[in-house]
């Protein structure tokens, strides 16, 4: 049976805390029984849930998906190493775009 988004987030959050960083993409979710197509639809929701829980996220500069970590400094080091070889990585913001726009106007 395929785990729901919250269950996947629980598992991946534990992995991020244990292994420092975790790659989250459709291929990773295939490990949990999702087909490639279904995983492609589910993993953005899992990433949103991980961000909501306070984990830090960047787009994977070496391929598809995202890299998730409990420590922002680890992701900054990944960003710096990606830039050294000419790749682009950016920290994903945890707050929705609408909220950022409201803050900027205030």
- The pLDDT tens digits for 30-65 are 999 999 999 988 988 999 999 999 999 999 988 889
Cα dihedral sign, 25-31-36-42:
negative
Return d(Cα 4, Cα 42) in angstroms, integer.
9
Per-residue confidence (pLDDT) for residue 1, from 0 to 100: 63
Show the DSSP H helices in 1-106 as ranges. Answer: 5-19, 26-30, 36-52, 72-84, 97-105
Per-residue confidence band for 100, with pLDDT thresholds at 50, 70 and 90: very low
Q: What are phi and psi of 15, to 5 degrees?
A: -65, -40
- Tell whether the model's pLDDT for residue 104 goes beyond 80: no
With 0-12 / 13-18 / 19 or more C-beta atoms within 10 angstroms meaning exposed / middle / buried, residue 68 is buried
């Amino acid at each position: 049976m395929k785990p729901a988004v919250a269950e996947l987030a629980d598992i991946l959050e534990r992995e991020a805390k244990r292994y420092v960083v975790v790659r989250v993409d459709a291929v990773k979710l295939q490990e949990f029984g999702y087909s490639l197509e279904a995983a492609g639809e589910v993993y953005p929701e899992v990433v949103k849930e991980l961000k909501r829980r306070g984990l830090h996220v960047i787009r994977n500069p070496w391929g598809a998906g995202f890299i998730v970590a409990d420590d922002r400094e680890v992701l900054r080091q990944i960003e710096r190493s990606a830039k050294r070889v000419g790749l682009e990585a950016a920290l994903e913001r945890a707050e929705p775009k609408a909220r950022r726009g409201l803050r900027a106007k205030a």
